[in-house]
Structure 1
């Protein structure tokens, strides 16, 4: 039996509307280390987007190194593989390779080739069981950048990028099979596989060349398991053994309902894989207010009071709140008014959405030349389109003043 911890999309160094996420990350990574210890894993795969930016802060890098130290302490014999994602600085992950390898950590930022072929000494990692026997291999493939892909010939039909990604996986798998025979292969990937559920506003559409998603059949059927990163929702894609472990913590409002955590994969004696996602407890609450619909301005303060938040809670543990407001009039001064309300409560407002009542569309009329329109009429229409109400007498007076100044 081989047991693997599959994790991805840590996004260390991320912020939410300027608020640091370090406390959340530390709490989640402590649970990750505890899970690795409790399940006595033989390998840890971090399938990309370790950092949130190409220039991670010193604090984010320190958190990575602290976590690797802790994982090595609780899993002294485990294979640990770090794969670059589209957010990661590939070169920076590879620069400390010699030091990482002293700790038994393999860090792979880009496809390494030797004499034109994928260098399996870099990309193929054995996984040993408690007895020290090799029970499986990781075929570690990071985010496929343009320079990593084979060049398609003129005879290629369809997407040359998808062709290149497919060819890359076929090439690496064939080379690995020639070396390790029928040993179970654990593939990795950091890309959007068609059929996976995206998180609106949180994930970039990343395949190079303007492509969006790769078909799941780029992964050969004889792969025991495919450990994916990039999509933040824990999920399978087509079959149980092609999976995203998801992000560690919510990265946007759309992810509040996800069971963020990590995935434990077991490879049996016959080479068959089973996977179980293990959700983590959140150290910081993420709240939609209201849970559905929208609140009138007068309803906001009672709704926040009803949350019964602890006034003694520490700053780093204050919940993140995503507020939706319904508004019929002008939005001028809205943010300041809501900020004043929220300041009465131990929370952090990180998003404000405004819903307006739907209005019947005016019948279409024949187009009119701009030169035939009066500036005041244009101002009235633009104001109402933006704010949902007609401008007041004061707005019209100020517009007249500006027009005279011109």
Structure 2
């Protein structure tokens, strides 16, 4: 076991603030890094130390792993927390931390690399007995091979980048002509975005639900789940509203899903906090989609229903301490909902950077926000400026509480997606819990 006394946060915005909050509770010193665009950001002021890392473009600052390592080394930190996005699922970064004797708050590099390849992940999950979407488990070498495989699988199909993520690197194809048209372009895009042009094919699941399971494991293989999150409200494969528990599952199916997630995590020797993502078809069959080897944006809804601080648990496990919970000690109480507030046009989803001239926020709810009044919303990064989280005794009360919170916002200077969030929460299909990943595109 190794105690963490000083921790560098290799991230920015609301997740940096979230990590700082738990570190302060634990008495851990925090070191922030910041780009030119973030020089006056709240997380920079909140950390115990802050160090300039580079220009505003992410590749010249937050994505430059050697710069991050250098700051960590020069300031003698014990650990690095990668947050989500940026370098959080980069096995080379985790490996460099290992080489420098710095604790990486996450799983081992080899596990990140294994789960970072969707082709390898599919194979290992099948070996573990975890159901995967029917498809082709090998990298496609040519469009001719893709056409041959597709003819045997049957259309429609999803052409996917093995190294893809965050909704990127996917193309739905309905026939040979569409596959021929997009194959080379998708391969080139995957090579450009992810440095890996490997593609594979999966059957298209019509009208799926996207439900994920939060798991945690220690170095001795003690693995638990912290129930599921319903993440089917999405735009362009990006989550917008998340809730826990999912009203789509009964207790028997919930237990089966969560135990399957634990089985998959044990198979790969996972140690840390992580998420197993699944999709469900209309007959409630579920299939492994991918594993996120990091903290999720939507982790607060799990914290809401379980009372477990997931950042604290991450740090505890990174110190190589034993799992502090037995499965039967983790209870799900009530219902939690999270809405992602983005600085973007609610109609076109185009980013809306600028100065926040006015920011009035609701009270009596959890707000994980990256900005305050007078701050600038940068055009260089993701448009999400914060998250609203409510936790109530049941789903109906949680929806009402979230709507009340969203109505209390008054933001001037940038456009936000709050009108869209209200529209979602008020929609009968959402309130009845009868929605799929297609819900948002059919909303208007």
Tell me, yes or no, whether TM beats 0.5: no
- Please give the TM-score of this superposition, normalised by the length of structure 1: 0.31
- Please give the TM-score of this superposition, normalised by the length of structure 2: 0.29
